Amino acid sequence: MIQVVRGTKDILPSETGAWQSLEATFRRIASQFGFQELRTPLFEHTELFSRGIGEMTDIVGKEMYTFLDQGQTSITLRPEATASIVRAVIENTLIEKNPLLRLWYMGAMFRQERPQKGRLRQFHQFDAEILGSAQPEADAESIVLASTILRAIGLSAFELRLNSLGNAASRLRYREALQEYFRPHIGGMSEDSKGRLEKNPLRILDSKHPEDKPFLGDAPVLFDYLDDESRNYFERVQKLLTALEIPYIADYRLVRGLDYYCHTAFEFVTTRLGSQNAIGGGGRYDGLFEQIGGKPTPGIGFAFGIERLLLLLEEEGKTPTSDTQCDLYVIALDDDSSAVGMKLAQNLRLKGLVVVTDALRRSFKAQMRDADRMKARFVAIIGENERLQGKVIIKTMASGEQREMALEDYESLQYALNT
Ligand code: HAM
């Protein structure tokens, strides 16, 4: 028996209702904020992610699905959406046509992490980006959009953690401070951290190696190295969030696992999902366009992990449903009636009703049971008698009441089934 690949999942019919409901909420709220959908390919040139996300990150260093295609081109299944969106915006000169872009995207992402609850190798994100604005209003709008979505789907067991990673000059000063702090300890630290010390010491802070843990707690904190410009920017973002009544917790130790961030960084976290506590995260990435080869353009955005949102909704007993109501179940009692029943069903579907027929040729009793299981509002019964008289029996499931109606009077049938 061939099984699903480790870290991937089938989303079963009993689960897709909840997915569709979340997806509909994302779409609805994103368009209320003036966002438009942009769809990018599932795979890209490897270089897009290694340059965009950063060579020394766990994502690029350990987690990407990278392979050579038949033409020996190095291809990577996208581990996230932001780099692809920025590439698409540059390539299609979208920012030249509109100086402020609001874009969203939803789909599968791939990271070869160790699978556990809430951590998959193929997972799904809802992602929203605001491109072109270096103003704190964009940061606030991004966070308000994220909070509005979480509220709309009914989640309450989460908090927003907010930090500033400052401008490039501040991060440079911090980088030196980190190197100075780690240098005396580096001999006893992991190989990963040794490699990161000179190239990208910030990434040492992401380390999950037990031998690194004792040194992480006392490491200098980036916030203490922010210059005036960075602090002012952060204050303006915080003022807007306060005015908009968005509760948050300032968390000066929050670092994100991707290199492209500057200034605002944030994460929505929950205590209900064990170690996979981030249901979403994002931040500002003013240098990313240049990294990828575009003109300097500021940007800010975030992504939610859809599986984690669904797990948390389940924890809170709030899993959404979007079951389609079955209006009519058509029961045919013999060979010839089966064709008549299928024709009736099709004509009523064309009038917008949800109509199912039995494709197993089951007994009357079994078809009635199936109609019950599907919670059909009405059942149509056609046997030889009805067929010969051009009639159909319509039974109201809630009351058990039955009436005979004309088989081909679709207008009257539609009216009866809609009331
Ligand atoms: P990220 O923090 O790497 O950010 O991922 C965002 C969210 O995706 C996480 O908070 C988590 O809910 C979910 N996620 C990540 N990895 C997994 C996994 N292996 N299994 C299940 N869920 C996962 C980004 O991807 C950035 N592109 C966000 C962003 C957009 N920043 C600016 N714009």
* Tokens of residue 33, six digits: 């904020």
What is the enclosing helix (H) or strand (E) of 370? helix 364-373
What is the enclosing helix (H) or strand (E) of 308? helix 306-315
pLDDT tens-digit map of 81-95: 999 999 999 999 999
Strand partners, 335: none
Q: What are the strands of the beta sheet with 278-284, ordered from one edge?
A: 36-37, 101-110, 122-131, 299-305, 278-284, 262-269, 159-164, 249-250
Q: Are 17 and 256 in contact (CB under 8 A)?
A: no
Distance 81 CA to ligand 1 centre (A): 9
* Tokens of residue 29, six digits: 């709220």
- Nearest by Cα to 237 from 318, 339, 154, 142: 142
* Tokens of residue 274, six digits: 């064990």
359-372 per-residue burial string, b: 16 or more CB within 10 A, e: under 16: eeeeeeeebbebbe
Burial of 69 from C-beta contacts in 10 A (0-12 / 13-18 / 19+): exposed
Pocket test for ligand 1, best of 125, 165, 285, 310 (most atoms within 8 A of CB): 125
Distance 195 CA to ligand 1 centre (A): 25
What is the chain's mean pLDDT, rounded?
Answer: 96
Ligand 1, atom nearest to 285 Cα: 32
* Tokens of residue 261, six digits: 């961030």
Q: What is the pLDDT along the chain (419 residues), one digit of tens a residue?
A: 999 999 999 999 999 999 999 999 999 999 999 999 999 999 999 999 999 999 999 999 999 999 999 999 999 999 999 999 999 999 999 999 999 999 999 999 999 999 999 999 999 999 999 999 999 999 999 999 999 999 999 999 999 999 999 999 999 999 999 999 999 999 999 999 999 999 999 999 988 899 999 999 999 999 999 999 999 999 999 999 999 999 999 999 999 999 999 999 999 999 888 888 999 999 999 999 999 999 999 999 999 999 999 999 999 999 998 777 899 999 999 999 999 999 999 999 999 999 999 999 999 999 999 999 999 999 999 999 999 999 999 999 999 999 999 999 999 999 999 97
Ligand 1 is surrounded, with C-beta below 6 A, by: 80-82, 111, 113, 118-120, 123, 125, 127, 129, 257, 278-283, 285, 301-303, 305, 307-308
Q: What share of the chain is helix, strand, coil (3-state, %, to 5)?
A: 45, 20, 35
Pocket test for ligand 1, best of 11, 112, 117, 258 (most atoms within 8 A of CB): 258
